[in-house]
Structure 1
Amino acid sequence: MTAPGGRPILRAFFVHFLTASGAVFAMLAMLEASQKDWSMMFLWLVVAFFVDGIDGPLARHYKVWDNAPRYDGVLMDLIIDYLTYVFIPAYALFSSDLLPGWTGWCAIIVITYTSALYFADTRMKTTDYSFSGFPGCWNMVVLVLFAIEPNFWVSLAIVVILAALMFLPVKFVHPVRTARWRWLTLPMAVAWTFFAGWAAWVEFHPESWAHWGLIVTSLYLVGAGALQQLIWREVL
């Protein structure tokens, strides 16, 4: 039997192992992307997104920085996030027909380059644990683009605008850590995850009701932080 004093350590290591599973889901998503099975790719990315959403609260609850300091959970999380949030979605955007020719090249260069800079930014978090600038959630953006299939000029404009917003003093809420409006933001993030999984499951069928859910929840998650800044006149 494990001594009572060893349980916090085991639980902390379990959280690290849970975080590391995101690398496996990233590989499974990449294998599906290589076969251009976009629905399965996004399903694995949604699973990785779900894991990323719960490992942080678990890490804080079980104090992994004290009970399992051998592994740097923050570094591990950033590595996996770059794969699942940036690299694989950018590849999918390039390999699909959403951005043809030079527009696809432009998108993947902009996405991967700006995201690498942003993920290394020591000031990406605000005092209320929101994000300063667009947090590089390209997995969410690209999934919505696959669902609604806008004109390629619209898709390219969305990519360029969001990339620019990475470096502007605009707040984006963290669904779990931003306390203000969390009663609404967290359910919105959960709903987005559900709609994303359903849209991918039905292979982005154009008549799927999940697409409307994706649009509504995405607009809230993108704009809630800026709206808070506007109402309370906050400066990052």
Structure 2
Amino acid sequence: MNGGYGIAQRLSAWAVHVFTGSGVVLGLLALLSASSGDAEACLGWLGLALVVDGVDGTLARRASVRDVLPGFDGSALDLVVDYLTYVVVPALFMYVFNLLPNGFGIPLTAWVLMTSLYCFCNVNMKSGDNYFVGFPAIWNVVALYLWILELNPWINAAILIAFGLMTFTTVKFLHPFRVRKLMRVNIAVSAVWLISSAALVILQPERPPVIFAVWLLASGYYVAVCAWRTLRGPEAA
């Protein structure tokens, strides 16, 4: 026994950490796909990493990993994995697939990498009701939008600069698996968004109107919730 917990409980806790850590393998596969010029595969691996990150917190709480394995910091593990899959790989993706203006790829990807450091080190990253405070460095999602929408590279540059600046603001961003208010609706919309995103990646450059409309509606829901929560101001748990 260790701290009152049995072998089965410790194995369960370690299994959760291994599940979280598998994100670095998905990140590696995404890096290799980007390096070989396969945008669809890169986004696919990043999508799987997003799913892992979305559910590992719930698994960790159910397995009481902090209590069972107090000597291993799962939060630090999560941040290490997230910086790779949410920041480094998407930055490379935007650079490799020419989503940024010629001659500005390095400065803009550096902007992504540097502003994200603040986000990951910000002890006030979450509000009392579990919204992200400031842009939460979800560059994997930004890269997906830029690739699907095929915007002008200068518009993409402006978007990157704007989101990077929002890192230092108090704009609220929804965490669908942690915010309790309308959680079931938030998770359902997230599932619709994920499925429609996957369909658009697979079908690119085709954008079937129904799927594209569903994707935009799900995106609009997120924007509306984030704007509503931001305008409400500070709120406790």
Answer yes or no: same fold by TM over 0.5: yes
> Paired residue for 1:46?
47
Matches within 5 A, 1:42-191: 42-191=43-192
Query: Which sits farther off after the overlay, 204-213 or 153-162?
Result: 204-213
* RMSD, aligned CA: 1.8
1:217 deviates by: 2.3
What is the CA deviation profile of residues 141-189 of structure 1, one whole-angstrom value per residue up to 9, with x for unaligned ones?
1011111111122211111111111111111111111112323221122
Query: What is the DSSP-based 3-state SS (H/G/I as helix, E as strand, rest coil) of the residue aligned with 2:98?
Result: coil
Q: TM-score, normalised by structure 1?
A: 0.91
CA distance in 1, matches of 2:208, 2:24: 30
For the Cα contact (< 8 Å) 2:101–2:157, is it kept in 1? no
- Matched residues, percent identical? 34
For the Cα contact (< 8 Å) 1:94–1:105, is it kept in 2? yes
Query: Which sits farther off after the overlay, 62-71 or 23-32?
Result: 62-71
Residues 1:63 and 1:36: Cα distance change in structure 2 (over 3 Å): same
CA distance in 2, matches of 1:138, 1:102: 20
2:206 is the counterpart of 1:206: yes
Q: TM-score, normalised by structure 2?
A: 0.90
CA distance in 1, matches of 2:90, 2:136: 14
For the Cα contact (< 8 Å) 1:229–1:235, is it kept in 2? no
CA distance in 2, matches of 1:53, 1:106: 30
Query: What is the DSSP-based 3-state SS (H/G/I as helix, E as strand, rest coil) of the residue aligned with 2:6?
Result: helix
Residues 1:140 and 1:24: Cα distance change in structure 2 (over 3 Å): same
CA distance in 1, matches of 2:202, 2:139: 19
Query: Which sits farther off after the overlay, 206-215 or 21-30?
Result: 206-215
CA distance in 2, matches of 1:78, 1:193: 22
For the Cα contact (< 8 Å) 2:101–2:154, is it kept in 1? no
> Paired residue for 1:234?
234
CA distance in 2, matches of 1:75, 1:88: 19
For the Cα contact (< 8 Å) 1:147–1:211, is it kept in 2? no
| Unmatched runs of 5 consecutive residues or more in structure 1 | none
Query: What is the DSSP-based 3-state SS (H/G/I as helix, E as strand, rest coil) of the residue aligned with 1:102?
Result: coil
> Paired residue for 2:12?
11
Matches within 5 A, 1:213-228: 213-228=214-229
Q: Match for 1:206: what amino acid?
A: E
Q: Match for 1:208: what amino acid?
A: P
Q: Match for 1:207: what amino acid?
A: R
Residues 1:148 and 1:206: Cα distance change in structure 2 (over 3 Å): farther
